[in-house]
Amino acid sequence: MKIGILTYHHVINDGAVLQTLGHVYTLRELFPEATIEVIDYRHATIERIERREAFKALIKLKKGAISKIKKYYNFKRFVNDLLPLSKEHCQTDDTAKAVAFINRQHYDYVIVGSDEVWKILDRKYARQFPNIYWLPETLTAKRIASAASANGSNPKLLEKKDIQEKVKTIVEGFEAIAVRDQYTFDFIHRLGVSTPLYQVPDPTFGVDWKADGVKEKLQKVGVDFSRKRFALNLSSNNPEFAKASEQIQQYAKQHNIQLVGIGQYNKYCELNFSDVLNSLEWATCYQYFDFCVTDRFHSTIFSIKNHIPFLVIESNKKYPTAHKGKIVDLLSKMDKLAYHQFYDDSIDFKEKIDHLLQKYQSDNFTDIIDHLKKQFRTHLLNSIKG
């Protein structure tokens, strides 16, 4: 049996490559006799934009520009070295060419997901619907959606009858449709498809992540293990997050805490790095911090999986409709929305952190983690008939 995984494995984002590895590692364990490949398809426009963005910061002499370029090249190297990529490579925006490429690989199953692979946008440089990530009917392999998400879509586009009819026509032929969030579930459910439809967690919950030498790398770049340490994956370029970060900096000074930026540059941090750790090391580095503040989905997940208290700060401006995003969806299912906060000028974030540090001592995430791991693995076992 040969299984191909189609996802955003190539974008410069630790969460994207880790959810890809979540599928790879879980499938290898569940189906040891199968050939598991990541389909090395890359959207040509996205590849070009990411390369341009990496160098644009240098041209504009922005802080962290060199680090951004180093991360770009280190990330590409990591993806090429670690992921079991298909021997053949395809880079195009043409869906028909992408279909022909995938069919030449002779997969028994093609799995699309995780990530926002079903996001529908009409922006100039977006992946235009219907793209290859919808797995068109012309694919010869059996098709499975695994933790696919339409989060971040233009909601007006999801209401268009022609788009709804096209989506229904495509996904009716799937073996199973497992989506990552309620928003995507509701969208597909409204179409009245007959294919089995259900929700599953992000693939990163399916794996117990390990990496060697992470503490030594952190020490080498200046992380101080003689003090308490807070990780921030929160950009100070956002005015609201800058105000929150300033309060967190005040809290850190009062309690002799080292603030460390572990992804996005934050001027209120004592130390920033983004190019020091590869994606596997980044997934496990959270265990070496006493608290995490973030607006990112996978930073939230790896705080949970590494058993450290956390606070998610998001902007209400990001969500103009009733849908409040994938992090709210995740924490709602866990009944842990206390760890999420939409920014407001009236909030005392120092007080919020104190409260969460105390609350975390009595909260149990272990059973939640175990349940989500089992749920993800059960979905793959039930969807693939080896």
Q: Where are the beta strands (DSSP E) in 180-237?
A: 197-199, 228-233
Q: Give the C-alpha distances (Å, rounded to integers) separating 135 from 7, 185, 251, 318.
A: 11, 17, 49, 29
At residue 381, the pLDDT reads 95
Write out pLDDT tens, residues 85-142.
Answer: 999 999 999 999 999 999 999 999 999 988 899 999 998 888 999 999 999 999 999 9
At residue 235, the pLDDT reads 95
At residue 65, the pLDDT reads 67
Q: Which helix (H) or strand (E) holds 356?
A: helix 349-360
Q: How far apart are CA 316 and CA 237, in angstroms?
A: 16
Q: How far apart are CA 4 and CA 156, in angstroms?
A: 32
At residue 57, the pLDDT reads 64
Residue bearing tokens 């040969």: 2
At residue 67, the pLDDT reads 73
**Residue range 65-75: average pLDDT?**
77
At 128, which amino acid appears? Q
Confidence of residue 69 (pLDDT cuts 50, 70, 90): confident
Q: Which residue has the higher pLDDT, 319 or 64?
A: 319
DSSP H helical ranges for 211-265? 214-220, 239-254
At 69, which amino acid appears? I
User: What share of the chain has pLDDT > 70, as a percent?
Assistant: 97
Write out pLDDT tens, residues 325-360.
Answer: 999 999 999 999 999 999 999 999 999 999 999 999
**Residue range 202-228: average pLDDT?**
97
Q: Which helix (H) or strand (E) holds 184?
A: helix 182-190
**Res. 53: pLDDT tops 80:** no
DSSP string, 120-164: ---STTS-PSS-GGG--TT--SEEEEEEE--TT--HHHHT-HHHH
Q: Give the C-alpha distances (Å, rounded to integers) separating 287 from 173, 200, 215.
A: 42, 25, 10
Q: Which residue has the higher pLDDT, 12 or 182?
A: 182
Confidence of residue 218 (pLDDT cuts 50, 70, 90): very high
**Res. 280: pLDDT tops 90:** yes
**Residue 85 DSSP one-character state:** B
Q: How far apart are CA 39 and CA 97, in angstroms?
A: 14
Q: Give the C-alpha distances (Å, rounded to integers) separating 1 from 24, 108, 152.
A: 14, 6, 34
pTM of this structure: 0.93
Q: Which domains does the chain have, with CATH numbers?
A: 2-207+371-383 (3.40.50), 214-347 (3.40.50.2000)
**Res. 386: pLDDT tops 90:** no
At residue 51, the pLDDT reads 73
End-to-end CA distance of the chain: 7
Gyration radius of the chain over CA positions: 21
